[in-house]
Chains A and B, each alone.
Chain A
Amino acid sequence: MGRKRGAAFWLPLAWITFVVLCAISASWLPVPSPDQIDWDNLAVKPGVAGHLLGTDTLGRDIASRLLFGARVSLIVGFLAPCIGLVLGCFAGVIAGFYRGLAEKLIVGAIDTFLAFPRLVFLLVFIFVLGASLSNLTIALGILTAPSFARVARANTIRFAGREFVLAAKAIGAGDVAIILREILPNVLAPMLVYMLLVMGFVIVAEGGLGFLGLSVPSPTPSWGGMIAEGREALDETPHVSMIPTAVMFLTVLSVNLIGDRLRGQVDGRESQL
């Protein structure tokens, strides 16, 4: 409980807090707009002409683009796993609680979905419904649902046979009440920790899509898109790609470190039961 968390927990947490605050306050910070072009200072190094982190090959302020890009990464990185968690939890708990035919169908659907080429799903989804932040979030959320469903099902099966569930059944509680009051609170703890690991994955996936030019539509900056844009002039001005790469790495690393530490604690608590 009162276990020491150490620098490997607090430093990542500080970084994430910093990124979140930056993303929220991006509009009020004294930086140029992310698509404002400074013709006199194309691809300048950090610190030149009032550009804290320099400009990209089109003369746009990198710091500003990072701030606004952080919004995309964080919104997708947080909301998509939430969608996946809700969908996955629903399917997984039903499969694990009722077993039988429902479980067979849901497990079959999960297996099919996992074998489905992810990129085809994302591309077709975005083609049909249009490229926007919300569609991107929903598509990535649906993609993460099967793995959440697996975790939910495994944990539901583990708890469904426990004495407190049997006790609830014995006093005549309905299925819905049992699921909501007995199963869900227990299943949710490991799922929330797992969500942190999925967040890292989603931020990377969004970056990959941005890199291919398939994330949010053009004027809105995204970290993956920034890395891809700098690739053209990697030899002369490496900072255009390297700065967003470093920011993305630190963010994903932080999320993973926090998730890893919390998972250790949840596992530790389970083993004490």
Chain B
Amino acid sequence: MGFFWGKFVHLVVVVLAVTAVTFVMLDLLPADVAHEVAGQSATSRDVAAVRQELGLNDSVAARYGRWLAGAARGDLGTSLVTRQPVGEAIASHLPVTLELLLLAQLFALALAIPAGIVSAWRAESPIDRALGSAAFGLISVPSFALAIVLIYFFSLRLKWFPAIGFTPLSEGAWPNIRGMILPAVSVALVEFASLMRVLRGDMIATLREEFILFARAKGLPTWRILLRHALRPSSFTMLTLLGLHIGNLIGGAVIIETIFALPGIGRLLVSSIFSQDYPMVQGCVLIITVGYVAVNFLVDICYGLLDPRVRKEGSVG
């Protein structure tokens, strides 16, 4: 149990450190928030009143403490620009990001698993070489460049998908998913490449094991050996990588969200930074960091469950 506890404490410390650093960094920004909030025609007395009201006269540490106390009660403050509660704004943007994330991972896995299996099974064959080259090429394409190429062919030329825009789920499942396919594929194709390479490597090692030879000797069909016997023990590294992708994507899909005009967390974060909406930035950073750290925590725990040696190492270091 010490392993899990240690990891958990580590997680909390990282979240605290990241939010505190964000607070200090935002404090460095040159703009005067009180001026912005009070508006163009405000007198210096108005500004002073706003400053008092927002507690801007206190030290950074005091303000961080107050924010933290609020966050612990589930209150992330209100937006300086729209006066909307930050928690509410995040709750309305998060589903879009999560949908993109989920679809992208599904596409990536749907491509990576068959491709990884085939190229491990026929290692060094022309098909393996071709898949390997394709993967290497895809790793070198920025996802935003890929998105432009996909929009050009599939939206503008073939007109299969809308080029930009988000349709809420309330207006039907198909219009919603249709708008998400290109953004998800742009993310998935880049991730697919790294997942496939890792799966191929692990699978080649697994296929040399004796139990595979034994399964062959029993006369089991090849597809059954590959899918039932070899895939499971080969997929641990790939799942770890998948966890890392998910953790990075919670706040890292900004460019894809911008290209396709999806109202996700990444866009909320960028627009909040531009409009100097500090409580909103702080809330977004909290969600992104918690997401990142939580996914990594789960991956660590999975590792610990699968391989007891990791647990011991973890408690020492």
Contacts and interface: CB of A to CB of B under 8 A. Distances in A.
Interface of A: 108, 111-112, 115-121, 123-124, 127-128, 200, 204, 207-208, 211-212, 224, 227, 230-231, 234-235, 238, 241-242, 245, 248-249, 252-253, 256-257, 260
Interface stretch (B25-33, B72-80, B107-115, B217-225): B25-33
Contacts of B152: 234, 238, 241-242
Majority SS of interface residues in chain A? helix
B53 to A, nearest CB: 25
Contact of B144 (A115, A117, A227): A227
B142 A207 contact: yes
Contacts of A117: 251-252, 269, 284-285, 288-289
B156 A211 contact: no
Nearest to B247: A115
B18 interface: yes
Interface of B: 10, 13-15, 17-18, 21-22, 25-26, 28-30, 136-137, 139-142, 144-145, 148-149, 151-152, 156, 251-252, 254-255, 258-259, 266, 269-270, 273, 281, 284-285, 288-289, 292-293, 296
25 contacts: A108-B13, A111-B14, A115-B15, A115-B292, A116-B289, A119-B266, A120-B25, A120-B269, A120-B273, A124-B26, A124-B28, A128-B28, A128-B30, A208-B144, A211-B255, A211-B258, A212-B255, A212-B270, A227-B144, A231-B148, A234-B152, A241-B152, A245-B148, A253-B136, A257-B136
B289 A227 contact: no
A119 B17 contact: no
Nearest to B28: A128
Max count, chain B CB within 10 A of own CB: residue among A115, A127, A204, A208: A115
Contacts of B140: 200, 249, 252-253, 256
B21 A112 contact: yes
